[in-house]
């Protein structure tokens, strides 16, 4: 049993010992259930997390899932802590484990996808893009334009914001910028028939205004 667990057992789980035995010429011996030990490790990790000591909390969550590999709650908080600490590879690994154990866990699936997108596109770019989509769906097109522009500024190789920037410009009648954005998007996705359609429409309307 690891040192960290042994010390905690001595201090906080006296009531969880299944049995103790000792002799004059041997040290104390403790037999604690794996499930009980894992729960204690999780509780200690959660308390540290709540106190803002996240790097320390990680060690206890790891101890919990190492002892009890199907401990979903411990995997969840390990993944969340990794994510909040910006350790994306580790967070993706832990979120995948949560999804493996609970395939119906939509929250875990959402955060897994978010971490994967952060890693692929950059956190700032992806978060701006998501906010742009929310604004667009609420028909707040000028706000959407601003967010999509921020996403592109943070990562000019991220294709999706160009498409939605073009559509948002189209919605507000700015066909010049709609053409520009959709042309940029089609450099990434030249076979996207939907983008080709909107680009053609924007070009036609732009010609009428000129």
CA 190 to chain CA centroid, Å, is 30
Q: Residue 208 has what pLDDT?
A: 87
pLDDT reading at 18 higher than 60: no
pLDDT > 90: what percent of the chain?
Answer: 82
Write the DSSP string, the chain: --HHHHHHHHHH-GGG-SEEEEETTEEEEEE--HHHHHHHHHHHHHHHHHTT-HHHHHHHHHHHHHHSTT-HHHHHHHHHHHHHTT-HHHHHHHHHHHHHH-TT-HHHHHHHHHHHHHHHH-HHHHHHHHHHHHHHHTT-HHHHHHHHHHHHHH-TT--HHHHHHHHHHHHTT-HHHHHHHHHHHHHH-TT-HHHHHHHHHHHHHHHHH-
pLDDT reading at 80 higher than 80: yes
Q: What confidence tens digit (pLDDT) does each residue in 91-102 have?
A: 999 999 999 999
Q: Indicate the pLDDT class of residue 210, thresholds 50, 70 and 90.
A: confident
Query: Is 163 buried (19+), middle (13-18) or exposed (0-12) by CB count in 10 A?
Result: buried
Q: Indicate the pLDDT class of residue 31, thresholds 50, 70 and 90.
A: low
For 193, half-sphere exposure in the C-beta direction (CA atoms, 13 angstrom radius) is 0
Q: Residue 182: CB partners within 8 Å, gap ≥ 6?
A: 162, 163, 166, 167, 195, 198, 199, 202
Q: Residue 28 has what pLDDT?
A: 35
Q: Give the domains, in start order, of the chain with CATH numbers.
A: 3-121 (1.25.40.10), 123-209 (1.25.40.10)
Q: What confidence tens digit (pLDDT) does each residue in 112-141 have?
A: 999 999 999 999 999 999 999 999 999 999
pLDDT higher at 15 or 142: 142
Computed over every residue of the chain, the mean pLDDT equals 88
Q: What confidence tens digit (pLDDT) does each residue in 141-187 have?
A: 999 999 999 999 999 999 999 999 999 999 999 999 999 999 999 99
pLDDT reading at 9 higher than 60: no
Q: Residue 68 has what pLDDT?
A: 96
Could you give the CA distance from residue 40 to residue 13 in angstroms, rounded to a whole number?
Answer: 8
């Amino acid at each position: 049993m690891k040192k960290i667990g042994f010390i905690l057992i001595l201090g906080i789980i006296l009531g969880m010992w299944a049995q103790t035995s000792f002799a004059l010429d041997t040290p104390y011996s403790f037999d604690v259930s794996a499930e009980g030990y894992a729960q204690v490790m999780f509780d200690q990790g959660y308390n540290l997390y709540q106190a803002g000591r996240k790097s320390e909390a990680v060690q206890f969550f790891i101890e919990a899932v190492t002892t009890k590999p199907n401990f979903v709650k411990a995997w969840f908080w390990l993944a969340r802590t990794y994510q909040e600490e910006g350790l994306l590879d580790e967070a993706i690994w832990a979120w995948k484990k949560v999804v493996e154990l609970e395939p119906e866990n939509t929250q875990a699936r959402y955060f897994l996808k978010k971490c994967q997108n952060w890693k692929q596109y950059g956190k700032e770019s992806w978060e701006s893009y998501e906010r742009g989509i929310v604004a667009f769906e609420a028909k707040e097109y000028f706000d959407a334009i601003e967010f999509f522009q921020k996403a592109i500024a943070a990562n000019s190789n991220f294709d999706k914001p160009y498409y939605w920037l073009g559509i948002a410009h189209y919605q507000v009648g700015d066909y010049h910028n709609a053409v520009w954005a959709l042309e940029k998007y089609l450099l990434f996705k030249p076979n996207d028939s939907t983008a080709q359609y909107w680009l053609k429409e924007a070009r036609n309307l732009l010609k009428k205004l000129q």
